[in-house]
DNA sequence: ACGGGCGGGACGACCCGTTTTT
DNA sequence: AAAAACGGGTCGTCCCGCCCGT
């Protein structure tokens, strides 16, 4: 799914804090592969070449690591999104076709997002509210693009923007799962491009 | 997503082993809500009103409970599917529009499926192979229906059956997640019906 | 110091729960010897011949063990106190002279009490309120006995009951510490008896 | 937090190592409040406004901090004692009546002493020997004063100096505990003065 | 057959005091 | 003065046997 949340404070050190970066990268990978609960601090530490205590020196708690991993991924996605959707309206929508390629380049974080969306399903999960907001944000963003398209006369007036937005997001959410279960054989980028061609056909007069 | 795996032996013992059923029901709910790793035997036992040992008398291991929960859910879905898709071809596809209603009536098992699809993402996960097969089966099933429709002249010949099948499954996989994150407010059944109307429009000459 | 608190629920099982009793006994000893924080669950378990988990099966938390140890000790002391002080008035006070002997027979629990009185000193300690109440109760009890003695004409009227109570308790609290630091050589029972002889001299007309 | 107590640093080394003093003051307070084991280096550091490593720059080990805290407290006590007891004999004993006031002005160190006396109870504790010596020293000191008084003819000859010394020390040890548990409401200085009046009554012919 | 008391081995997160490096 | 890393623990949880009542 698309990312659209939280401004993200950004590490102030600027340059070298490599160990912290390594930890976050390893965590992202493992969280995606084994789930949050299935990933132990020790496992993360091992991957970076530290001991548990070494990791806990940088992040004093496991949730801190989770948050950092999320933040980093969102930050990355946000940047890509902004330049992708800058034109607005139909043009922006047609550019979303590149989304498949983005996922293919970022499998670890994509996996983490899927896992999080599953772990947040229960209304009492600590991630539920967070994910709810994320979905709402993305939904609104797409609705906005469609309305903009209608205003510009690029998109037909009769379109149900809400339903279309849900449909697009659902397709993207669903297809990336199939990509993983196809052993990453499914031509994700092509499929998504095809989807958007068809979508634009339906949206334009 | 749709279920289509494992024939399932079907509980033969006529006796009304209610306790076993209760355990499986509770397990299904909790697995969906808290994930497999996040659900303890004790929690299941508590929900049924037993002690850990009480549960372990019926299922000697946790994985046995997981398997039973899966089996029961698949069994249920299978029955519903079979009568739903019996006609084959376009008729069967248009009947899939009811799928939304099915999900709405079975939220616990639906949640469990989402969780499982996330937990199986990693290629080394114990659920990966299982899920891969499930996705492949469903994909084939839909492809089959489309081909059947083409053969019967109900569906246009130029259609890319593989891509269409993926798209349908992706939409269904994705929209149910949004349903959960909308606080179950999203009109799932309507949305799915709408999707299939449009799909059939596109498939028919 | 003397014990006078909490009614104590009393184990309902009645007979055999020996393991629980053993755990509490071992805990009392170790808490006294090494302090609360200095005593690990593993150490208690080792002493009883169990593993950590074995102990945690009976008491699911360390504080539960502490509470049980306290309760048991207080229960024991309460019984001894009640028959000791039954007569009331001067007679009861003179019987308190036996207290030294009681301590000598119960060094583990005595030590635990000293340790607790130290760990509860800080107003924010979890034991502070508990200990405050205990001291207040004992103080009142002794004041009561003195007043009773005055009423019965056994004790001189001019006595400052509050101060005398504090003094008695202080002496008992203090002398037992010296007993421990004398390597238990100090003739505690004799010293206490001597103290009370002198006290009674001062109290009686 | 800054220390607003400490009557006089009296550090012999000319250099104004204030940080070291602050650390020792903070440590004294925390050791008293939370016990030795309950006080972490980090907590001390936090109180002084340093990091753990900052503290460890000045004292390379935790026991070094403990020793420094003890030493500082003893140093202070010693000075006060020496001028207090200089006259010797009965006069010295009657001056001990001021002890209550001293405690009231030094609650942190008093608390630390109580805690230490509890933590040293076990014969295997690292503080046991230290405390044993302390108690023996004080005991001898008081016995000495009494003997001196007898020699000078100020004190009756029949007195059991050993027992009297124990009793005095016990009272002082015990009453300060009650002072803490009374929320520091108990009029400690008055009570102690009253005790010594009575004691002197008993000792003099 | 069913249910539970009791016990344990493995591991979870997190903490603590310390050494090494900057 | 502090940042980085670590070895050794601490409490507590989890899954699962063993054995004893009904």
DSSP letter string over chain C?
-----------TT-S--HHHHHHHHHHHHHHHHH-TTT--HHHHHHHHT--HHHHHHHSSSHHHHHHHHHHHHHHHHHHHHHHHHTT-HHHHHHHGGGHHHHHHH-HHHHHHHHHHHHHT-STTSTTHHHHHHHHHHHHHHHHHHHHHHHHTTSS-TT--HHHHHHHHHHHHHHHHHHHHHTTT-S-HHHHHHHHHHHHHHHH--
- Model confidence over A58-69: pLDDT tens digits? 999 999 999 999
Smallest CA-to-CA distance from A142 within A174, A162, A165, A160 is with A165
Q: Say yes or no to pLDDT of D78 above 70.
A: yes
**C119 reaches D (C-beta below 8 A):** yes
Chains A and B make contact, 3+ CB pairs within 8 Å: yes
> Which chain E positions come under 7 Å from a protein C-beta?
2-20
Region B124-144 average pLDDT: 90
Check whether C11 has a pLDDT greater than 60. no
**Is the CB of D81 inside 8 Å of chain C's CB atoms?**
no
Give yes or no for residue C165 having a pLDDT over 60.
yes
Task: Name the range with the highest mean pLDDT among A57-71, A121-135, C160-174.
Answer: C160-174
Q: Any CB–CB contact under 8 A between B118 and chain A? A: yes
CA-to-C1' span, D69 to F3 (A): 27
A120 close to B (CB below 8 A): yes
Question: Over the Cα atoms of chain D, what is R_g?
Answer: 19
Chains in contact with chain B (at least 3 beta-carbon pairs closer than 8 A): A
Q: Which residue has the higher pLDDT, C125 or A115?
A: A115
Average model confidence (pLDDT) across chain C: 87
Contacts of A167 (CB under 8 A, 6+ apart): B171, B175, B191, B195
Residue A65 · residue A171 · CB < 8 Å: no
pLDDT in tens, B143-173: 999 999 999 999 999 999 999 999 999 999 9
Round to a whole number and report the distance in Å from the CA of A47 to the C1' of E14: 19
Binned at pLDDT 50, 70 and 90, residue D71 comes out as confident
Predicted confidence band of residue C17 (pLDDT cuts 50, 70, 90): low
Residues 121..180 of C with a Cβ closer than 8 Å to D: which?
Answer: 121-125, 128, 131-132, 135-136, 139, 163, 166-167, 169-175, 177-178, 180
Q: Which pLDDT score, from 0 to 100, does residue A155 have?
A: 96
Question: Which nucleotides in chain F lie closer than 7 A to a protein CB?
Answer: 1-18
The answer to whether A176 and A202 have CB atoms below 8 angstroms apart is no
> Which of B5, B33, B118 to probe by mutation at the A interface, max A CB count within 10 Å?
B118
In the predicted structure, residue A16 carries a pLDDT above the cut 80:
no
């Amino acid at each position: 799914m698309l990312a659209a949340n939280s401004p993200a404070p950004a590490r102030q050190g600027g340059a070298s804090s490599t160990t912290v970066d390594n930890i976050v990268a390893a965590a992202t990978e493992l969280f995606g592969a084994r789930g949050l609960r299935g990933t132990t601090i020790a496992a993360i530490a091992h991957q970076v070449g530290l001991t548990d205590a070494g990791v806990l020196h940088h992040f004093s708690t496991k949730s801190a690591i989770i948050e950092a991993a999320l933040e980093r991924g969102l930050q990355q996605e946000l940047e890509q999104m902004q330049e992708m959707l800058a034109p607005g309206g139909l043009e922006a929508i047609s550019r979303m076709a590149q989304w498949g390629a983005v996922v293919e380049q970022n499998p670890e974080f994509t996996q983490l997002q899927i896992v999080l969306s599953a772990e947040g399903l229960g209304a009492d999960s600590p991630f539920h509210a967070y994910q709810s907001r994320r979905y709402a944000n993305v939904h609104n963003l797409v609705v906005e693009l469609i309305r903009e398209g209608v205003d510009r006369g690029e998109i037909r007036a009769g379109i149900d923007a809400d339903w279309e937005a849900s449909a697009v997001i659902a397709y993207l959410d669903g297809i990336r799962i199939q990509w993983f279960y196809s052993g990453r054989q499914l031509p994700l980028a092509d499929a998504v491009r095809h989807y958007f061609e068809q979508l634009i056909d339906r949206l334009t007069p």
